[in-house]
């Protein structure tokens, strides 16, 4: 018997079971737009009206600073947006990771297929609208900690598509949202956004299960940074000393323009951005919302994201 027939037999109205409010039809991706700034602007035009609506509904604003945290075991990428009233970063979306190669544990060498674990930052020069995987950004591996441990690798991205070799693949549809939110934050003045990648959610129970793993000491070290974020809901300041990550609390600063900035406003201690070139600006207007998408040009043309 069909569910609708059973409901009728019970004398219940059809609309009482499983009815959902009508949702707007998803915006289709135009595959004819060539890679580059035009593609990024078109993606932003696709998703910004819904993003603006959903952000406003939870007291957040499009173009405000963002923070990303990813968990490999759970295949989840979290995107936080800073709340203007509290200065704290609020979880806005949790995206399923479509593909992430390798096993739990840090990336050690070029070609090992591992997704890195640790603390990274993404300046505008690392945004890659010309990616062969639709849209992408380079996380900046290896950072200072990785280099201190002779870890090698390059072009580690968060990108579209559903295939990965050491990257986080998010699908084209989801990367449109992620890329647009990050680019809007940078255009709004955030000099770089943080991305923290962990093997799993760093709970006491999960850490106990990890006892005896060769990576246990490293995982305990990176857990310190995650605990500070959980405490303050603001990414901690991160440095490297004696081959270990060293963290400093970063209190929420609701009046600060760049709450995650290190003392030297446009530099992070784990990454040194190449000298800035000129900006390429694209404008997108949809539903009355207007914003700019920018990225830098280097000496060799469009910056590839490598450092």
Structural contact between residues 139 and 157, judged by C-beta atoms closer than 8 angstroms: yes
167 is a catalytic site residue: yes
The sign one gets for the Cα dihedral 145, 151, 153, 159 is negative
Cα 132 to Cα 91, 149, 173, 176: the distances in Å are: 29, 30, 15, 14
Active-site annotation holder among 9, 167, 194, 260:
167
Tell me if 149 sits within 8 A of 70, measured CB to CB: no
End-to-end CA distance of the chain: 63
Give the C-alpha separation, 66 to 70, whole Å. Answer: 14
Among 274, 267, 271, which residue's Cα sits nearest to residue 299? 274
CA distances, 273 to each of 110, 180, 267 (Å): 21, 21, 7
For 86, the token pair is 């509290």
Which of 9, 159, 194, 196 is catalytic? The answer is: 159
92 Cβ neighbours under 8 A, 6+ residues apart: 54, 55, 58, 60, 79, 80, 81, 181
Whether 128 contacts 160, CB under 8 Å: no
Alpha-carbon 36 to chain mean position: 19
Q: For residue 260, indicate whether it is catalytic.
A: no
Torsion-angle region of 63 (φ positive above 0: left; ψ -120 to 50: alpha; else: beta): left
Annotated catalytic residues are 159, 167
């Amino acid at each position: 018997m069909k569910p609708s027939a059973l409901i009728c037999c019970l004398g219940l109205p059809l609309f009482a079971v499983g009815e959902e409010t009508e949702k707007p039809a998803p915006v289709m991706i135009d595959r004819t737009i060539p890679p580059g700034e035009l593609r990024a602007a078109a993606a932003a035009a696709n998703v910004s009206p819904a993003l603006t609506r959903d952000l406003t509904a939870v007291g957040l604003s499009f173009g405000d600073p963002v923070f990303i945290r990813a968990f490999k075991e759970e295949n989840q990428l979290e995107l936080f947006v800073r709340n203007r009233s509290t200065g704290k970063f609020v979880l806005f979306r949790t995206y399923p990771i479509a593909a992430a190669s390798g096993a739990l544990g840090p990336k050690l060498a070029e070609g090992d297929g591992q997704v890195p674990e640790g603390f990274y930052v993404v300046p505008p020069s690392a945004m890659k609208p010309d990616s062969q995987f639709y849209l992408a950004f380079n996380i900046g591996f290896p950072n200072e900690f990785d280099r201190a441990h002779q870890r090698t690798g390059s072009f580690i991205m968060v990108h579209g598509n559903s295939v990965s070799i050491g990257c986080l693949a998010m699908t084209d549809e989801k990367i449109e949202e992620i890329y647009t939110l990050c680019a809007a934050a940078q255009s709004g003045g955030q000099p770089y956004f943080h991305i923290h990648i962990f093997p799993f959610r760093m709970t006491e129970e999960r850490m106990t299960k990890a006892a005896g793993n060769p990576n246990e000491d490293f995982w305990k070290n990176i857990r310190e940074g995650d605990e500070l974020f959980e405490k303050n809901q603001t990414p901690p300041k991160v440095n490297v000393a004696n081959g270990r990550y060293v963290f400093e609390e970063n209190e929420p600063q609701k009046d600060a323009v760049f709450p995650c900035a290190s003392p030297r406003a446009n530099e992070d201690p784990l990454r040194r951005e190449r000298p800035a070139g000129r900006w390429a600006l694209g404008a997108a207007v949809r539903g009355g919302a207007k914003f700019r998408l920018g990225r830098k040009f280097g000496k060799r043309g469009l910056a590839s994201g490598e450092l």
